[in-house]
Structure 1
Amino acid sequence: MNYSFQKGEVIGILEIPKLQAELPIVEGTSEYELQKGVGHYSSTALPGQPDQILLSGHRETVFRRMGELKNGDIFQVIMPYGSFSYEITGSQIVEANDPTVIKSTAPNETLTVSTCYPFTYIGDAPYRYVLTAHRTEIQ
């Protein structure tokens, strides 16, 4: 698999069945890109690769109901080259500038999804809410 995407390009769809959500995944995480959908950190893997995939989105738009998700819930990622399921296995709250959220998980394929926290905070939130999910064959 050798896909490369341009910044700002819609590269896939993030489905969250529990929330009945279908969200566009956009390459990049600038403010412009995050206005268009869920941003993919370009320095991280893509679905189907054995490493960390990091997606981020705004809490007041695409991830408004993220706090309702629990361990065992599923993220479905639909890419031009296939569909991938990930089961949520954990959550954490970290400082907004915590660099440990971005890390290699090789050889394991791990989906990390983050948004600002607290969910109801006005302005630049001081924390990030981070969900970790592992590849599963559940459909």
Structure 2
Amino acid sequence: MSVRLVVRTFSELCITAGALIILFVVYFLFWTGVKAADAAEGEIDTLQSQWAREPVAQAPPPGSAETSPSKDPDPAPVPYRAGKPFAMMHIPRFGAGWEWPVLENTAVGTLKKGLGHYSGTARPGDTGNFAVAGHRRTYGDPFKDFPKLRPGDAVVVNDGTTWFTYRIAKKPYRTVPTDTAVVDPVPRGSGFEGAGRYLTLTTCEPEWGSSHRLIAWAHLDATRPVSDGRPPELSG
């Protein structure tokens, strides 16, 4: 085999490898985003149709007649369905149009369609820790700007009847994926003391890796019936 043939063959292999790498990068940077946007839009449509057809019962405020000891306790809420949406999340810090569906569980397939609720953690507005995960990069990059979160930022959740406004307590915290205490009812390292209504957001760190996790904690600041319109944090 001549040197010229070897060089030509090697060059062709390099060109082919380069083309494959470019296609791979395009797939992760562009195509997964397109797929995620379509999937998230479909989940949002499903959720809105569900709310229009079967509105979620709104809980009465604490101390009202409906919650007095003489009344029968409310039935247990219907469990969330695995991989199905049950709420919408808005984070104004990430842009006026930032909204993503929140689905039940954090399975790989679920996180391709939106944000994932850690099964077993609290529901929005309930006592405990409502914990949610999302991709930092790929599949729509929902938490691309996660490091920009600052104390006082609003995280607004809509479950079909109520707007729940949480406030970020501190800048994002870096930890390892095995640190499951960050989603405890009173998350370790959050600075929270005792039972409360908390929110935990998690995503990958570094931006294009997964060796660590970034965590942001928040506490419930306000609630507002959906019938009263959007909260002021979203009316800008």
Per the TM superposition, whether the score is higher than 0.5 is yes
2:155 maps to 1:75:
yes
Secondary structure of the 1:33 match is helix
Deviations 1:24-63 (A, max 9, x none): 1111100010101000011100012110110000101211
Deviation of residue 74 (structure 1)? 0.7
Which residue, 198, 221, 227 being the options, matches 1:136? 221
Over alpha carbons, which structure has the higher Rg? 2
Secondary structure of the 1:67 match is helix
Give 1:108-127 correspondences, 5 Å limit.
Answer: 108-121=196-209, 125-127=210-212
Amino acid of the structure 1 residue aligned with 2:179: D
- The runs of 4+ residues in structure 1 deviating greater than 2 Å are none
2:56 maps to 1:4:
no
Deviation of residue 102 (structure 1)? 2.1
Amino acid of the structure 1 residue aligned with 2:105: G
Give 1:5-20 correspondences, 5 Å limit.
Answer: 5-20=80-95
Aligned residues, how many? 136
Gaps of 5+ in 1: none
Distance 1:18 1:86, change over 3 A: same
Secondary structure of the 1:101 match is helix
RMSD over equivalenced CA pairs, Å:
1.5
Partner of 2:176: 95
Give 1:34-53 correspondences, 5 Å limit.
Answer: 34-53=111-130
Deviation of residue 120 (structure 1)? 3.5
Partner of 1:24: 101
Gaps of 5+ in 2: 1-58, 60-76, 187-193, 223-230
- Could you tell me the TM-score, scaled by structure 2's length? 0.55
Matched-pair identity in %: 29
Higher RCO structure, 1 or 2 (CA under 8 Å, sep 6+): 1
Deviation of residue 3 (structure 1)? 3.7
Secondary structure of the 1:36 match is coil
Deviation of residue 107 (structure 1)? 2.5
Amino acid of the structure 2 residue aligned with 1:8: G
2:140 maps to 1:63:
no
Deviation of residue 76 (structure 1)? 0.2
Aligned mates of 1:83, 1:94 — CA distance in 2? 30
Secondary structure of the 2:147 match is helix
Amino acid of the structure 2 residue aligned with 1:17: P
Query: Which has the larger helix fraction?
Result: 2
Amino acid of the structure 2 residue aligned with 1:95: V
Query: Which has the larger strand fraction?
Result: 1
